[in-house]
Amino acid sequence: MSLVISLIIVLVGVLALFKLPITQFPDIVPPSVTVTATYNGANAEVCANAVATPLERAINGVPGMTYMNSVSSNNGVTLIQVFFNVGTDPDQAAVNVQNRVTTVLDELPEEVIRAGVVTEKEVNSMLLYLNVMSKEKDMNEEFIYNFADINVLQELKRIDGVGFVDIMGARDYSMRVWLKPDRMLSYNISSEEVIAALRRQNIEAAPGVAGENSGKDTQVKQYILKYTGKFNKPEEYKKVVLKAQPDGALVRLKDIADVEFGTMSYDMVSKTDGRPSASIMIKQRPGSNARDVINNIKEKMAELKETTFPPGMEYNFAYDVSRFLDASIHEVLRTLLEAFVLVFIIVFIFLQDFKSTLIPALAVPVALIGTLAFLQLFGFSINILTLFALVLAIGIVVDNAIVVVEAVHVKMSTNT
């Protein structure tokens, strides 16, 4: 019976081993939801009064919330973090916060509504820091960022177990219009007029059809009208008409501004070993296996390097959680092997009985493998803390096995 029970314990533990999630740290951090709003051109005080206050008033009291904090910056970004009780479903918490934010959207400035208010759950399980760089000097930071955004980021998001992927710093391609205040003053043009002119003329429109048959007369030809569409070259933006002078002369955008093809933001620079790079932060989805996710990411990156990367472009991993996990697992296995050998030698030397030596040598691995089943039962994961606990438990199991076997051996010898 004891042999059958031991086999059952080992079998259940082995089955649990393949289902247990592997992470660096246990999931004990309270879940949080982040609300991000952008008010272009506003300073921190305006953002706090016009954006943060209405949102905080609406979010306050959402089910499961413990506290929240908000930060408004002079670049027009308002960030609100809402923290919840441990054990709260982060997906449900994000939905509840989004519902509260929707109720006050009409109170926010038009610019904020147009830019969008983003509500997303915060994922805390860090996996990797991935750097994409190039040896070619003609590939600048803007090109590398947008290449990674289009070809790398979208592929990584589709990997099972990846909870969050983002490139540090915003280097999206953008048409930059640098206004000249002195020219604007001489032509009596305000920045609002420039924005209005760009919105009117830089649009995607549907002109319709010319010569459509009405059904009464035979129509010879029918033309599908096509509008020019949004501009994509600096020369096209420079020709945008702002106003007409009394003498009939047209004031165009090039008369009061410099137009260039640049990036949306210049507030962050990313370099690896002195070379421009795109630094990608990857976080793990709760409940997933960190080792499997990392292996899948590395396989996908190796595939992209062979099929998608241009000549001279390469990548590396600045931070890799699997290094710590592999080291911890290696220490547990080494401790288990050392305990197995020491128990076998010590018991055999003192008891001079092979059968008594075999019992504690088998009890140690059976007890530790069976522990994995209870880890899964109670919702734990294989992480640095549970592995450290296993190392400590090995000493307790070894000590108990030696003491019990020795006591039983002495008892049986005395009775005999």
pLDDT tens profile 172-198 = 778 888 999 999 998 888 888 898 888
CATH for 380:
1.20.1640.10
pLDDT confidence tier of residue 213, bands split at 50, 70 and 90: low
* Domain range enclosing 87: 30-123
CATH for 180:
3.30.2090.10
Using CA atoms, how far residue 364 sits from 18, 129, 327, in Å, is 20, 38, 22
Going by C-alpha positions, the residue among 201, 204, 148 that lies closest to residue 173 is 148
Give the residue from 97, 123, 149 where a domain finishes: 123
Spatial distance between the Cα atoms of 97 and 102, rounded to a whole number of angstroms: 9
Whether the CB-CB separation of 390 and 332 falls below 8 Å is answered with yes
Q: With respect to residue 243, please indicate whether it lies within any of the assigned structural domains.
A: yes
**pLDDT reported for residue 148:** 87
Q: With respect to residue 42, please indicate whether it lies within any of the assigned structural domains.
A: yes
Q: With respect to residue 139, please indicate whether it lies within any of the assigned structural domains.
A: no
Give the residue from 95, 123, 151 where a domain finishes: 123
The SS3 assignment for 191 reads helix
pLDDT at 89 over 70: yes
Mean pLDDT score of the chain: 83
Please give the single-letter amino acid code of residue 105.
Answer: L
Q: With respect to residue 297, please indicate whether it lies within any of the assigned structural domains.
A: no
CB atoms near residue 26 (< 10 Å): 14
Spatial distance between the Cα atoms of 143 and 278, rounded to a whole number of angstroms: 9
If asked whether residues 9 and 57 sit together in one domain, one would say no
Q: What is the DSSP string of 231-282?
A: --SHHHHHT-EEEE-TTSPEEEHHHHEEEEEEES--S---EETTEEEEEEEE
**pLDDT reported for residue 62:** 92
pLDDT at 100 over 90: yes
pLDDT at 215 over 70: no
Q: With respect to residue 206, please indicate whether it lies within any of the assigned structural domains.
A: yes
If asked whether residues 17 and 76 sit together in one domain, one would say no
The SS3 assignment for 168 reads coil
Query: pLDDT tens digits, residue range 114-147?
Result: 888 888 887 677 788 888 888 877 778 888 888 8
Does an H or E element contain 314, and which? strand 313-320
If asked whether residues 12 and 40 sit together in one domain, one would say no
The share of the chain scoring above pLDDT 70, in percent, equals 95
Spatial distance between the Cα atoms of 96 and 61, rounded to a whole number of angstroms: 10
Using CA atoms, how far residue 43 sits from 46, 75, 170, 403, in Å, is 6, 6, 19, 72
If asked whether residues 6 and 60 sit together in one domain, one would say no
- Report helix, strand and coil shares of the chain as percent, to nearest 5: 50, 20, 30
If asked whether residues 363 and 381 sit together in one domain, one would say yes
Spatial distance between the Cα atoms of 206 and 213, rounded to a whole number of angstroms: 19
CATH for 117:
3.30.70.1430
Going by C-alpha positions, the residue among 357, 398, 366 that lies closest to residue 6 is 366
Q: With respect to residue 89, please indicate whether it lies within any of the assigned structural domains.
A: yes
If asked whether residues 41 and 12 sit together in one domain, one would say no
Spatial distance between the Cα atoms of 182 and 197, rounded to a whole number of angstroms: 19
**pLDDT reported for residue 101:** 93
**pLDDT reported for residue 55:** 93
If asked whether residues 63 and 9 sit together in one domain, one would say no
pLDDT at 74 over 80: yes
pLDDT confidence tier of residue 217, bands split at 50, 70 and 90: low
Distance of CA 158 to the CA centre of its chain: 12
**pLDDT reported for residue 69:** 92
How many domains does the structure of the chain reveal? 3
Q: With respect to residue 46, please indicate whether it lies within any of the assigned structural domains.
A: yes
If asked whether residues 58 and 9 sit together in one domain, one would say no
pLDDT confidence tier of residue 154, bands split at 50, 70 and 90: confident
pLDDT confidence tier of residue 78, bands split at 50, 70 and 90: very high
If asked whether residues 117 and 198 sit together in one domain, one would say no
Mean pLDDT of 81-93: 87
**pLDDT reported for residue 99:** 93
Q: With respect to residue 298, please indicate whether it lies within any of the assigned structural domains.
A: no
If asked whether residues 84 and 40 sit together in one domain, one would say yes
Give the residue from 100, 123, 146 where a domain finishes: 123
Comparison of pLDDT for 337 and 56, the residue scoring more: 56
Name the least confident of 94-98, 346-350, 371-375. 346-350
If asked whether residues 108 and 184 sit together in one domain, one would say no
If asked whether residues 110 and 43 sit together in one domain, one would say yes
Hunting for tokens 């740290």 — which residue is that?
25
**pLDDT reported for residue 218:** 65
**pTM flag (> 0.85):** no
Spatial distance between the Cα atoms of 172 and 352, rounded to a whole number of angstroms: 75
pLDDT at 20 over 70: yes
Whether the CB-CB separation of 161 and 284 falls below 8 Å is answered with yes
